[in-house]
């Protein structure tokens, strides 16, 4: 169940009303009914926030990603950082990356900070709303970075059918599927993933091999797949990764066309 709670009293602001209408429209009942947890979506004048019922056993505080975090991420961006190393290699940064599992967009923001144009597809309307809100807030601080991020609400499998027709063919496709709950990540990452898991509906768990296979068919240059450090190596369309880049608790498997 989702409750949308307005935290801003003066509703005469057209932009806020429009935003609320949009939210009601995209968080349709068929999605809300599938959620296991009771989620609140707080609509502040300047941001959205997720509210969790602390009695559900997770005990989360209300959650949103402050746009100022971009300053911190910006400092860390370099070619040796695992995500950038896997996606960019030694190549140029003016390429299109298609992120098929966008989540709240932390990876996409880092890629955009490096210089990539990132199309981010997210099928969960609640997560997508938070992603779009974050990109809008980042735009106030770094318009150039926000302009390089294009959030799309939809299922990536359907989106891939548009590639080459209505959507330009991306040089690189990136996937970060939700791993089963046993991954060994640092506490902050674990909490972030648990929040995503908590607002996901049942069928979002685990890797969708057919999505990865279709991504391989569509990418111009390569596909990068994020996986837990100890997960087995996947053979995709008869190919094994040509390289692996290791991060803390996860790795990036790089498949070339």
Ligand X SMILES: C[S@@+](CC[C@H](N)C(=O)[O-])C[C@H]1O[C@@H](n2cnc3c(N)ncnc32)[C@H](O)[C@@H]1O
- State the residues that interact with ligand X by CB under 6 A: 101, 103-107, 121-124, 127, 155-157, 176-178, 196, 200, 204, 211
CB of 198 to ligand X, least distance (A): 11
Q: Closer to ligand X at the Cβ: 16 or 106?
A: 106
Q: Closer to ligand X at the Cβ: 23 or 224?
A: 224
- Structure tokens of 196? 């995503």
CB of 9 to ligand X, least distance (A): 32
Q: Closer to ligand X at the Cβ: 123 or 150?
A: 123
CB of 158 to ligand X, least distance (A): 8
Pairwise CA distance, residues 35 & 27, whole Å? 11
Q: Closer to ligand X at the Cβ: 21 or 217?
A: 217
CB of 150 to ligand X, least distance (A): 14
Q: 105 and 152 in contact (C-beta within 8 Å)? A: no
Instruction: Provide the b/e sequence for 162-200 (b: ≥16 CB within 10 Å).
Output: ebeeebeebbbbbbbbbbeeebebeeebeebbebbbbbb
CB of 137 to ligand X, least distance (A): 15
Q: Closer to ligand X at the Cβ: 6 or 204?
A: 204
Q: Closer to ligand X at the Cβ: 43 or 134?
A: 134
- Neighbouring residues of 57: CB distance < 8 A, sequence distance ≥ 6: none
Pairwise CA distance, residues 154 & 63, whole Å? 23
Q: Closer to ligand X at the Cβ: 106 or 136?
A: 106
CB of 228 to ligand X, least distance (A): 11
Residue number of the CB atom closest to ligand X = 103
Nearest to 2 by CA among 222, 30, 15, 12: 30
Residue 154, number of CB atoms within 10 A of its CB: 13
CB of 3 to ligand X, least distance (A): 20
Question: In degrees rounded to 5, what are phi and psi of residue 136?
Answer: -65, -40
- Structure tokens of 223? 């596909």
For residue 157, give the DSSP letter.
H
CA distances from 161 to 125, 142, 150, 218, 229 (A): 20, 32, 18, 9, 31
């Amino acid at each position: 169940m989702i409750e949308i709670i307005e935290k801003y009293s003066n509703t005469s602001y057209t932009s806020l009303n429009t935003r609320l209408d949009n939210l009601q429209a995209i968080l349709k009942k068929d999605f809300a009914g599938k959620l296991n947890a009771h989620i609140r979506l707080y609509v502040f004048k300047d941001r959205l926030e997720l509210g969790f019922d602390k009695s559900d056993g997770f005990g989360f505080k209300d959650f949103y990603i402050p746009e100022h975090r971009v300053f911190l991420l910006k400092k860390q961006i370099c070619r040796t950082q695992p995500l950038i190393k896997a996606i960019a290699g030694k190549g140029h940064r003016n390429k299109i990356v298609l992120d098929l599992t966008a989540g709240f967009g932390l990876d996409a923001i880092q890629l955009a900070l490096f210089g990539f144009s990132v199309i981010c597809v997210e099928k969960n309307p609640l997560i997508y709303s938070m992603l779009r809100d974050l990109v809008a807030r980042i735009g106030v601080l770094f318009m150039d970075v926000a302009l390089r991020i294009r959030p799309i609400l939809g299922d990536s499998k359907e989106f891939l059918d548009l590639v080459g027709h209505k959507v330009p063919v991306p040089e690189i496709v990136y996937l970060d599927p939700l791993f089963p709950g046993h991954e060994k990540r640092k506490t902050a990452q674990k909490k972030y993933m648990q929040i995503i898991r908590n607002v996901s509906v049942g069928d979002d768990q685990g890797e969708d091999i057919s999505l990865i296979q279709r991504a391989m068919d569509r990418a111009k240059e390569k596909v990068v797949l994020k996986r837990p450090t100890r997960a087995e190596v996947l053979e995709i369309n008869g190919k094994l990764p040509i390289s692996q880049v290791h991060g803390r608790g996860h790795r990036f498997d790089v498949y070339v066309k």
